[in-house]
């Protein structure tokens, strides 16, 4: 199949455009997404193509954004709302957690909430403690929400299209450091299904499950480790809810070791959920060493570049953790 090279940002833009062309009920809303083109440039040019009725700038109020998206989704629209920084999703938590996540259940399946919240997360841009958090663990705890974290342009495009077509509220987390990452995507339209992980690299000595930008760092670490004769298998869940546990279980049975890497704080992070599912499965009997989590420090993200970098796992940290587990 013919392919084209796109950045992560361009892949998201293409997904949005394709879905808006396909379905007139799809529209976008958020702070500075129209005239300005979005804080990270994802929606640049879409206003000129689709007009103000479908590319809507909103007030600086995340509770309004989430509430309006919820209301329009209930009436048959398919809103894609942008929360400028993931940290600000907390301002819309009542509408998201107490309303959007529960309406399908409380109405006995007679009402659906087909809405997507796109939100940039993570550190690495010097944005300090209130603009650099990874809050996916909070969201994964809530029944009724789906949580997606793509790590490549290919996955970003295909997963966003699937999220827009899903009849449930989806939180779509885009790491800020990935927007400029380049990758090949098919020229023809395609979808990546929710709830299906991908083996990004085959290996035999250790299974490494990484989330979002940590997939990129894990792949670089695996290249270094290969020079030492250590073979690492890297799995990207891609969607945290629903989670494809089977792929991780099968990999652990093959490699007998598991390292989980994510940027969010270790305490209560999603890595603990992955760990528990392995321990509660028959893969536990295959483990040669205890499972290890490599995660962010349990502190607010510092503003200082050096301290910020030290607060979350880096490539060298992954290399060292693998060496210790493989022995």
What is the Cα–Cα distance from 327 to 324, expressed in whole angstroms? 5
What is the Cα–Cα distance from 310 to 296, expressed in whole angstroms? 9
Does the pTM surpass 0.75? The reply is: yes
What is the Cα–Cα distance from 125 to 112, expressed in whole angstroms? 37
Beta bridge partners of 28: 55, 80
Confidence of residue 231 (pLDDT cuts 50, 70, 90): very high
pLDDT (tens digit per residue) in 262-287: 999 999 999 999 999 999 999 999 99
Average pLDDT over residues 139-144: 98
Average pLDDT over residues 96-123: 97
Average pLDDT over residues 239-246: 98
Average pLDDT over residues 76-100: 97
Average pLDDT over residues 157-172: 98
What pLDDT shows up at residue 1?
A: 82
In the predicted model, is pLDDT for residue 141 greater than 90? yes
Distances 204 to 38, 147, 232, 324 between C-alpha atoms, Å: 42, 29, 6, 16
- Give the H/E segment covering residue 116: strand 116-121
Provide the token pair at 78. Answer: 């398919």
Domains of the chain: 3-186 (3.40.50.970), 198-326 (3.40.50.920)
pLDDT (tens digit per residue) in 171-229: 999 999 999 999 999 999 999 999 999 999 999 999 999 999 999 999 999 999 999 99
pLDDT (tens digit per residue) in 21-60: 999 999 999 999 999 999 999 999 999 999 999 999 999 9
Catalytic residue list: 131
In the predicted model, is pLDDT for residue 92 greater than 90? yes
Return the percent helix, strand and coil in the chain, to nearest 5. 40, 20, 40
**8 A C-beta contact, residue 117 and residue 66:** yes
């Amino acid at each position: 199949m013919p392919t084209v090279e796109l950045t992560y940002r361009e892949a998201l833009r293409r997904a949005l455009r394709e879905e808006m062309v396909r379905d007139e009920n799809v529209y976008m809303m958020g702070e500075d997404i129209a005239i300005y083109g979005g804080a990270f440039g994802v929606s640049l040019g879409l206003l000129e193509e689709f007009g103000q009725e479908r590319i809507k700038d909103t007030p600086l109020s995340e509770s309004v954004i989430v509430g309006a998206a919820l209301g329009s989704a209930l009436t048959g629209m398919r809103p894609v709302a942008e929360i400028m920084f993931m940290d600000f999703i907390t301002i819309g938590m009542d509408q998201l957690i107490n309303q959007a996540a529960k309406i399908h259940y409380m109405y006995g399946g007679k009402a659906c909430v087909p809405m997507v919240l796109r939100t940039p997360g993570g550190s690495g841009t010097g944005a300090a403690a209130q603009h650099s958090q990874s809050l996916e663990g909070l969201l994964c705890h809530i029944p009724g929400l789906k949580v997606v974290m793509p790590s490549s342009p290919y996955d970003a495009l295909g997963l966003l299209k699937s999220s827009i077509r899903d009849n449930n509220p989806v939180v779509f987390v885009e790491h800020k450091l990935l927007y400029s990452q380049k990758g090949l995507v098919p020229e023809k339209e395609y979808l990546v299904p929710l709830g299906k992980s991908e083996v990004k690299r085959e290996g035999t000595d250790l299974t490494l499950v990484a989330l979002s930008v940590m997939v990129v760092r894990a792949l670089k670490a695996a290249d270094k480790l290969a020079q030492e004769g250590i073979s690492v298998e890297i799995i990207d869940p891609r969607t945290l809810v629903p989670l494809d546990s089977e792929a991780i279980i099968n990999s652990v049975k093959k490699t007998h070791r598991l390292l989980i890497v994510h940027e969010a704080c270790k305490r209560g992070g999603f890595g603990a959920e992955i760990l528990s599912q392995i321990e509660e499965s028959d893969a536990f009997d295959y483990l040669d060493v205890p499972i290890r989590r490599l995660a962010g420090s349990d502190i607010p993200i510092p503003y200082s570049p050096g301290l910020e970098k030290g607060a979350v796992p880096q490539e060298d940290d992954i290399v060292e953790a693998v060496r210790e587990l493989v022995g």
